[in-house]
Amino acid sequence: MKYSVLTLFPEFFEGLKQFSIIKRAIEDGYIDIETINIRDFSKNKHHKVDDYPYGGGPGMLMQVEPIRDAIASCKTDRSHVVYLSPQGRVLDQNKLKELATYDHLILLNGHYEGIDARALRYVDEEISIGDYVLTGGEIASMVLIDGTSRMINGVLSSEESYSNESHYNHLLEHPQYTRPQTFEGMEVPAVLLSGDHAKVAHYNKVEALRATLMKRPDLLSENKLTTEELKIIKSLKEESKRGGNHGHY
């Protein structure tokens, strides 16, 4: 996967390239991150890329021509252009999985009050990382790069490294434990020490469903759940009504 990041602040991404998994993925050739400074495409002698909006209003807008030319400088027939925008579709795990299938993502980062609306004709889709406003698109681009790159074959040690994580399969991840076995009176669940892989797998499934039911019930869409999962959820709800287990402690 190649990422072409169009930004006014290329140095923003130098730290990302040194991050453990991202750094290793770059070194091993699984991903490539290039930064392209939109100012390089300004025809202004001071490399100015913004101007006042027509009709008035606060702040400045990024101009359409440098954006168009920056996209054209790296776009191929296999490219997918994403504008990181508070007006875009909110990013979720399914969208990350979809984006991870592209060979080349071009990430356009807005700044100031945004971009000239005419620049959107050069964009394939707008994506937001949440219903709030950031100073620019750079942090959102980092989130997208991190989230997609970890699903590219070879970046992580095995598919299991991400397939059991929260949100990957419509459930939150089950609770996990490490040493010490006892901490301030809290014990690691005995089943996890049993060595019985089938029992451990079932236990983890139940606890993943429990966590999702307690924290993010909106994720439990019936059309995504198996018959077994629906039975477990029914049992957990009945247990809750009886005042049963709401956690391990």
- Whole-model pTM: value is 0.87
Cα separation, 109 vs 86, in Å, equals 11
pLDDT digits (tens, 9 = 90+) for 149-193: 999 999 998 654 665 665 667 899 999 999 999 999 999 999 999
pLDDT digits (tens, 9 = 90+) for 208-241: 999 999 999 999 987 789 999 999 999 999 999 9
Structure token digits, residue 72: 């054209």
Q: What letter would DSSP give residue 135?
A: S
Average pLDDT, the chain: 93
Coil/strand/helix, residue 206: helix
- Cα dihedral angle (204, 208, 214, 217), rounded to 10 degrees? -150
A 10 A CB-CB count for 190 gives: 9
pLDDT digits (tens, 9 = 90+) for 26-38: 999 999 999 999 9
Which of the pair, 10 or 247, is modelled with greater confidence?
Answer: 10
> 164-241: which CATH architecture?
Orthogonal Bundle (1.10)
- Domain 2-149 matching CATH 3.40.640.10: the answer reads no
Cα separation, 215 vs 31, in Å, equals 34
Coil/strand/helix, residue 13: helix
Cα separation, 71 vs 126, in Å, equals 15
pLDDT at 246 over 50: yes
Residues annotated within the binding site for S-adenosyl-L-methionine are 110, 129-134
Cα separation, 80 vs 64, in Å, equals 18
Per the CB < 8 A criterion, the answer to whether 32 and 3 are in contact is yes
Q: Return the exposure string of 120-144: e unless at least 16 CB atoms fall within 10 Å of the residue's CB, then b.
A: bebbeebbbbeeeebebbbebbbbb
Per the CB < 8 A criterion, the answer to whether 186 and 249 are in contact is yes
β-strand pairing of 186-187 with 182-183: antiparallel
Where are the domains positioned within the chain?
2-149, 164-241
| pLDDT (0 to 100) of residue 162 | 62
Residue percentage of the chain with pLDDT more than 90: 86
Cα separation, 146 vs 47, in Å, equals 30
Cα separation, 50 vs 57, in Å, equals 14
Q: Which residues contact 226 (CB under 8 A, 6 or more apart)?
A: none
Q: SS3 helix, strand, coil % of the chain, rounded to 5? A: 40, 15, 40
A 10 A CB-CB count for 48 gives: 13
